[in-house]
Amino acid sequence: MAAPSSPEQELAAQLIASRQAAARRLAGLEREFNGIVEAAGQAGTDDEHDPEGATSAFERQHLAALISQARMHLDAIEAALGRLEAGSYGRCQRCGQPISVERLGARPAAVTCITCARLDRSR
């Protein structure tokens, strides 16, 4: 494999890898979710009277939360890839300054620079 020649290319490759990982995670969670739903259906469990039914209801809720998080993460990466194609990737959406390569390396889907992110957090 040839070494990437620029930080941009490296970040693009990283984004694509992140998208694959996020999509795989989402698919895995959805499979798990469907498994629980199916198992509950087959056993004919009653969430209110069967202790195991209550457990699976809790697991379902927990998984549903994880799935929506994974989906948002995937959306954020997709959006970053869109910005990459549009040529606006790596620029802070708040102040317009370039986001540092280090930050993008750690958070490829970041839309704000570290300064603006800190301001947001301290608010």
**Binding residues for Zn ion, per CB under 5 A?**
92, 94-95, 113, 116
Cα separation, 99 vs 116, in Å, equals 10
Give every CB contact of residue 90 below 8 A, 6+ residues apart in sequence.
8, 11, 83, 98, 99, 101, 104
CB of 119 to Zn ion, least distance (A): 8
Q: Which is nearer to Zn ion, 13 or 119 (CB)?
A: 119
Q: Which is nearer to Zn ion, 64 or 119 (CB)?
A: 119
CB of 8 to Zn ion, least distance (A): 19
Give every CB contact of residue 40 below 8 A, 6+ residues apart in sequence.
53, 56, 60
Q: Which is nearer to Zn ion, 54 or 117 (CB)?
A: 117
CB of 114 to Zn ion, least distance (A): 8
Q: Which is nearer to Zn ion, 63 or 104 (CB)?
A: 104
CB of 95 to Zn ion, least distance (A): 3
Cα separation, 69 vs 88, in Å, equals 25
Identify any residues that bridge with 98 across adjacent strands, giving them in sequence order.
91
